[in-house]
Amino acid sequence: MPTPWQTPAELMPWPVQTPFRVAPGLRRLDDPESDPDTLLWRHDRLPDYRAYKALRLGQSDGQAGEPDPRVLDAIATQENQQTGQFIAADPMALSKHLPEDFVILHDEPEVGFVVRYLSVCFASNWSPADKLGLGFAAVHAPVADNRALLAARAGIETIAFRQTPMRRHVWLLSPSPDLWQAPNERAPRWAQTLTNAAQGEHSLLSQVYFRVERQTTLPLPAIKRAVFFIHVMVCPLIEVLRLDACRACALADALDSMSPAFVAYRGMTTLRDPLTRALRAFAS
Q: Taking a C-beta distance cutoff of 8 angstroms, is the pair 247, 238 a contact?
A: no
* Count of helices and strands (H, E) across the chain: 12, 7
* Averaged confidence pLDDT in the chain: 91
Model pTM score = 0.94
Contacts of 229 (CB under 8 A, 6+ apart): 39, 40, 100, 101, 102, 103, 215, 216, 217, 218
The pLDDT of residue 157 is 94
The pLDDT of residue 54 is 82
What percentage of the chain carries pLDDT values higher than 70?
96
Which strands, in side-by-side order, build the sheet including 101-108?
27-28, 166-174, 209-220, 225-236, 101-108, 112-119, 63-65
Phi, psi of 70 (to 5 degrees): -65, -35
CA–CA separation, 14 and 254 (whole Å) = 12
pLDDT (tens digit per residue) in 110-132: 899 999 999 999 988 888 889 99
CA–CA separation, 71 and 78 (whole Å) = 11
The region, left, alpha or beta by phi > 0 then psi within -120 to 50, assigned to residue 133 is left
Q: Using CB atoms within 10 A of its CB, is residue 71 exposed (0-12), middle (13-18) or buried (19+)?
A: buried
